[in-house]
């Protein structure tokens, strides 16, 4: 009994320490958010100033013969100053954002450790594969899954900031440029409006693609097969990669979370083939004919030593591709499925997955 009480006190102390550390990280993140917001305002202001200076330099270039030399020199000095300030502030912003990402990863790990200490680490008793090894392995798996979720949220946030958000900022700046040009150079203003229209069309398509990647509505409306076909067609249009899709069995609906798992797994593996393997060809096989559902994704790109990668100590694996594949395998195991990864440094990578079609 005394030993049990001592162990209980020790666990409570650890929980308190973890909670204090999480509070410290949250406070730092709050402070960092303010710094990022303030720096972003300065970057946007300098970006607008840079756009204004570029417009004025173009005007000087068009009227170089009539512009006083002193005005030309002063404007080029302004251009150098704004370029240096913008570069400095962007560097500061990137530093803050990198620190934020590090703190968010630390927060995710601490959350996983806290769940472990509080006993929120048990896997479902039925329909899942037993986690190998001692309790530490189970905790590590949970932390990895939580970390992977947070990293995906961070990736989406960066995509939104660097894509649509940045485009909207540029729209505002270009609109202001057009307003200033209407009085003194209507022809140039019309050209800028044409450019703005083209950029708006491109951005609109990017937003549609972003929404599809985030959560394709047709996955709920039509199911996984049409969604996979649509994604493969879109992927081939945007990347110089040959993709062959082979679907066998009846085109049927599954439970929503199973359709999501199938689509996300194919999407993730195609992204890895492009981003990490530098593949020129991908083959996808989706067999819906029975239970389990069978999925295979194979690429002809750069592989890796799978046997060595997945027998190494997991906390020392640094390759993001291997980490993502390990997390994918764990997701399938948690719902009673399985995933096998075959790859070597001189051959292609093939991932085979099996997923029960019902609970």
Task: Say which residue, 189 or 355, is predicted with more confidence.
Answer: 355
- Condensed to tens digits (0 to 9), the pLDDT of residues 308-319 reads 877 765 544 567
* Structural domain spans, the chain: 2-213, 216-355
pLDDT over threshold 60, residue 41 = yes
pLDDT confidence band for 282 (50 / 70 / 90): very high
**Which percentage of the chain shows pLDDT scores above 90?**
18
Task: Provide the pLDDT for residue 308.
Answer: 81
Task: Say which residue, 334 or 282, is predicted with more confidence.
Answer: 282
Residues 281-302 have a mean pLDDT of: 94
Looking at 48-57, 216-225, 254-263, which range is the least confident one? 48-57
Contact yes or no for 288/250 (Cβ under 8 A): yes
pLDDT confidence band for 129 (50 / 70 / 90): very low
- Which residue(s) pair with 285 in the sheet? 246, 296
pLDDT confidence band for 198 (50 / 70 / 90): confident
Helix (H, G, I), strand (E, B) or coil at 120: coil
Distance CA 226, CA 245 (A): 12
Q: Determine how β-strand 242-248 pairs with β-strand 281-287.
A: parallel
Task: Say which residue, 187 or 230, is predicted with more confidence.
Answer: 230
Q: In whole angstroms, what separates CA 110 from the centre of its chain?
A: 21
Helix (H, G, I), strand (E, B) or coil at 20: helix
**CATH, domain range 2-213:** 1.20.58
Q: What angle do CA 272, 277, 283 make, to 5 degrees?
A: 70
Looking at 38-47, 87-96, 161-170, 188-197, which range is the least confident one? 161-170
37-51, 63-77, 226-240, 315-329: which has the highest mean pLDDT? Answer: 226-240
pLDDT over threshold 50, residue 254 = yes
Mention the CATH class of domain 216-355. Answer: alpha beta
Distance CA 240, CA 281 (A): 9
pLDDT over threshold 80, residue 86 = no
45-49, 109-113, 316-320: which has the highest mean pLDDT? Answer: 45-49
pTM of the model: 0.53
Residues 248-262 have a mean pLDDT of: 89
Contact yes or no for 46/149 (Cβ under 8 A): no
Task: Say which residue, 253 or 97, is predicted with more confidence.
Answer: 253
Average confidence score pLDDT of the chain: 77
């Amino acid at each position: 009994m005394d030993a049990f009480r001592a162990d209980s006190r020790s666990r409570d102390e650890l929980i308190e320490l973890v909670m204090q550390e999480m509070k410290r990280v949250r406070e730092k993140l709050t402070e960092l958010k303010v710094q990022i917001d303030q720096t972003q305002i300065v970057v946007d202001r300098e970006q607008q100033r840079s756009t204004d200076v570029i417009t004025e330099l173009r005007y000087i270039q068009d009227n170089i013969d009539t512009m006083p030399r002193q005005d030309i020199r002063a404007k080029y000095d302004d251009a150098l100053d704004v370029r240096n300030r913008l570069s400095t502030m962007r560097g500061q912003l990137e530093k803050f954002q990198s620190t934020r990402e590090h703190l968010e990863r630390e927060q995710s790990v601490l959350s996983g450790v806290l769940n472990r200490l509080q006993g929120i680490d048990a896997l479902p008793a039925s329909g899942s594969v037993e986690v190998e090894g001692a309790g530490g392995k189970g905790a590590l798996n949970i932390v990895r899954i939580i970390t992977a979720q947070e990293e995906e949220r961070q990736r989406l946030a960066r995509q939104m900031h660097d894509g649509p958000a940045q485009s909207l900022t540029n729209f505002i700046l270009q609109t202001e440029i057009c307003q200033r040009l209407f009085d003194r150079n209507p022809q140039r203003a019309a050209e800028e409006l044409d450019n703005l229209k083209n950029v708006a069309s491109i951005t609109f398509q990017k937003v549609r693609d972003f929404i599809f990647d985030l959560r394709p509505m047709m996955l709920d409306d039509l199911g996984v097969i049409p969604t996979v076909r649509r994604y493969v067609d879109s992927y081939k249009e945007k990347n110089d990669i040959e993709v062959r899709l082979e679907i066998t069995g009846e085109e049927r609906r599954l439970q929503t979370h199973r359709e999501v798992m199938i689509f996300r797994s194919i999407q993730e593996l195609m992204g890895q083939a492009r981003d990490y393997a530098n593949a020129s060809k991908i083959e996808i096989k989706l067999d819906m004919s029975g239970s389990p559902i069978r999925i295979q994704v194979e690429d002809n790109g750069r592989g890796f030593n799978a046997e060595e990668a997945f027998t190494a100590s997991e906390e020392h694996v640094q390759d993001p591709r291997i980490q993502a594949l390990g997390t994918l395998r764990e997701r399938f195991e948690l719902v009673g499925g399985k995933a096998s990864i075959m790859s070597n440094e001189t051959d292609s990578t093939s991932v085979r997955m099996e997923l029960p079609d019902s609970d």
